[in-house]
């Protein structure tokens, strides 16, 4: 029997899963204390939505979504910041369910658009995002500061 996907707001007690997932996603050990500080601040921000997906008692994935008012959109827009599904739970609808919850949140707040970026090295994500209904409309440029 297939386990049902449950999506809920992330809580402080979910930090270990989120941190470990981010390290796996980025393929490196990240600065734990700084990430925990940002995590704890962001989960309390009413302009952000942090969700976790579970199958049974297992944490399967998470998504973070930030909203802001932008002048060139003449309103509120949202951006998926981090999105991760554990390899053991991929192709089981976890990602679709997380994005569906973001879409419902965005619709309830009349967002003008939802954006998501992906690192160029993650070429498979382009097809995933297009499958989820996103269009490739922008280029994103970055300068990293030491």
Per DSSP, the chain holds a count of helices (H) and strands (E) of: 4, 5
Residue-wise pLDDT tens digits, 95-144: 999 999 999 999 999 999 999 988 777 778 888 888 888 888 888 888 88
pLDDT of 60 > 70? The answer is yes
| Weakest mean pLDDT among 2-6, 88-92, 99-103 | 2-6
Report the C-alpha gap between 98 and 23 in whole angstroms.
Answer: 20
Contact between 53 and 7 under an 8 Å Cβ cutoff? The reply is yes
Per-residue confidence (pLDDT) for residue 1, from 0 to 100: 59
Going along the chain from its start, the domains and CATH numbers come out as: 5-131 (3.40.630.30)
User: Which tokens sit at 28?
Assistant: 């490196």
Residue-wise pLDDT tens digits, 65-85: 999 999 998 999 999 999 999
Report the C-alpha gap between 81 and 62 in whole angstroms.
Answer: 11
Please, where are the H alpha helices in the chain? 15-26, 32-42, 94-108, 124-131
Residue-wise pLDDT tens digits, 6-29: 999 999 999 999 999 999 988 899
């Amino acid at each position: 029997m297939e386990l049902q996907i449950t999506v809920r707001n992330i809580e402080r007690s979910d930090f270990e899963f989120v941190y470990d997932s981010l390290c796996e996603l980025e393929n490196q050990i990240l600065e734990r204390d700084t990430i925990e500080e940002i995590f704890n601040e962001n989960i309390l921000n009413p302009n952000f939505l942090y969700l976790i997906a579970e199958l049974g008692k297992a944490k399967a994935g998470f998504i973070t979504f930030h909203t802001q008012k932008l002048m060139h959109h003449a309103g509120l827009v949202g951006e998926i910041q981090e999105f991760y599904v554990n390899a053991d739970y991929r192709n089981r609808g976890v990602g679709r369910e997380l994005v569906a919850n973001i879409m419902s949140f965005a619709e309830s707040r009349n967002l003008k658009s939802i954006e998501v970026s992906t690192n160029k090295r993650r070429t498979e994500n382009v097809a995933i995002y297009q499958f989820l209904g996103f269009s490739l409309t922008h280029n994103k440029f970055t300068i990293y500061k030491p």
